[in-house]
Chains A and B, each alone.
Chain A
Amino acid sequence: MIEARGLARTFRRKKQEVRAVAGVDLDVAAGEIVGFLGPNGAGKTTTLRMLTTLLVPTAGTATVAGCDLLADPVGVRRRIGYVSQSGSTQPEALAGEEVVDHGRLYGMSTADATARGRRLFTELDLEGLWERKPKAMSGGQRRRLDIAMGLVHEPGLVFLDEPTTGLDPQARANLWQHIRGLREERGTTVFLTTHYLDEADALCDRILVIDSGAIVAEGTPDALKSGVGGDVLTVTAARADEVGAVARLVAGLPGAEPPQVHGDRVVGRVPNGGGALVQLVRELDAAGLGVAGIESRRPSLDDVFLGLTGRSLREEGAPVAPVVPEPEGALR
């Protein structure tokens, strides 16, 4: 459905070249739900805007929905749906009229666009809102209206840019269901961007992790998580001045990777969380070190991102303090 090679985009800002996307290769098969995961400014939206013909790539090639991106952008436009972050409807217009006009811009007749729009309103739980102005809708309703706009011409491939940003948890869960429904009920291929890990985890067959304009990893959520190499061990020191000693003990656990220190917390990675926990508690006790909390858990996509980029998606942009090198040779 999508095949991109070396897709790149450079912006010129005040005579300075800014590389927003530095050469992205990606393949998406028909019927897949693929997530593009990365922090704000990683190049997700720029890549999406290139794949949807809104931006011309400065380098690279791509075939989207069977049409060459550069040679036949109109063919691409005809075959894809795009739901942008910023919305798609005039706040003062009537929802139904916006959908019908949008369908007409895709070459549909008014009658076809109306019939299709009405059906989409039913499927997307927008019944009774045909004559409602978007400004009088809730955030979740407006988002579903945007999706109806993007689907009115029955595209085989849909791009969703940050589909659930700004929605409350209930509306998000509801929207996820609708996105899954796109594939299950009509076999639509979905390519979405998100900076929510739970969203990528819950929704996507495959995830592409993008950072600083380049894809740094790709795979199923499970494969990415198992690639992290073990469970995550978090120990909170009781006294801030003992955090270094706690970190040294964590680093000494069998198979452990060098732990990282965030304030009074030590985060380490071990192959077997349960066994390591028991051993660590004994050693802490023997060393007379107090702990305020200790926890072992399966890795999340946030850990994947942290491992790949050295930055956490949650604390966007904040670099993680590296652990102080240890003299005792306790490190792996």
Chain B
Amino acid sequence: MTLPVATNSIGRDTWTVFARAMRLSLRNPAWVVIGLTQPVLYILLFGPLLEPLSGQLGSGNAYQVFVPGILVQLGIFGALFVGFGLIAEWRAGVVESQRVTPASRTALLLGRVLRDVVVLLVQGTVLVLVSIPLGLRAPVLGVVLALLVVALLGAAFSAVSYALALTLKSEDAFAPLLNAVVLPVLLLSGILLPMTLAPGWLQAVSDVNPLKHVVDGVRSLFDGSYTSATAWWGLGLTLAMAALGWWFGVRRFRRESG
């Protein structure tokens, strides 16, 4: 029998998986567009409500406070929903047919996660550009660092989403789980309004939520306070979550599929 030359490597396999996933996303861009519409709607329809409050928000510019929150929201919730696509692929037999190839299990995850990160970065960039005519003013370095945070958060939560999807293998189980997590986390992270507006007890509860500190961190980046403790806490927690999410995802993908 003829044997193919063994030229698998994690980098090459990742590229193959990434290119395939990207091609499929571009061919059916509905999800990319829907994922983008939502944050843009927040900016256009919710942002103006904050303008009269800008004095209370401790900033001269409401969008400087609001856009970072929406960016973090995009990174987390945009990524958390990617698992639905994997459940569909699993049902079509794609996941299993990829798992009988000698390709690296990590690459099967990494390629997909990279596609999601690229999509999130494009969405985040559009989001920032849309906000500029509305009055967003922020330093370029701060915006770039903020997008880096979005990319890291996206990688973590997309890996988690894929791992959960592969474990549950059913939209009916996956959707309620996401909904149960998303709303409280959203409300307790100060994404829409800073938690400084909250009464003491609510602030105390939200202090436990790492995402609240990430949002605060990104706000400092938009403020240009790169060396502030808030910024460093945000970045540090982002890295920690990225590492944890990645570990969780890889562990699930390396396990047998059954």
Chain A residues proximal to chain B, CB less than 8 Å: 11, 49, 52-56, 74, 77-80, 82, 84-93, 97, 101-102, 104-109, 112, 146, 149-150, 153-157, 187
Contacts and interface: CB of A to CB of B under 8 A. Distances in A.
A78 B257 contact: no
18 contacts: A52-B100, A53-B100, A54-B258, A74-B102, A78-B102, A79-B3, A82-B97, A86-B92, A97-B23, A105-B8, A106-B8, A107-B7, A107-B102, A108-B4, A153-B4, A154-B2, A155-B1, A157-B1
B100 A77 contact: yes
B102 A54 contact: no
Nearest to B9: A107
A78 B24 CA distance: 26
Interface string B38-64: 000000000000000000000000000
B92 A89 contact: yes
Contact of B20 (A85, A97, A155): A97
B256 A56 contact: yes
Contacts of A84: 93, 96-97
A114 to B, nearest CB: 14
Most buried by A among B20, B98, B257: B20
Nearest to A156: B1
Contacts of B20: 93, 97, 101
B87 to A, nearest CB: 13
Contacts of A52: 100
A296 B7 CA distance: 60
A148 to B, nearest CB: 12
Nearest to B101: A105
Most buried by A among B89, B94, B256: B94
Nearest to A135: B92
B94 to A, nearest CB: 6
A67 to B, nearest CB: 11
B152 to A, nearest CB: 27
B102 A90 contact: no
A156 B1 CA distance: 5
Contacts of B205: none
Interface string B170-184: 000000000000000
Contacts of B33: none
Q: List the 9 closest A-B pairs by CB distance, nearest first.
A: A156-B1, A88-B97, A86-B93, A87-B93, A105-B101, A105-B103, A107-B7, A82-B100, A104-B16
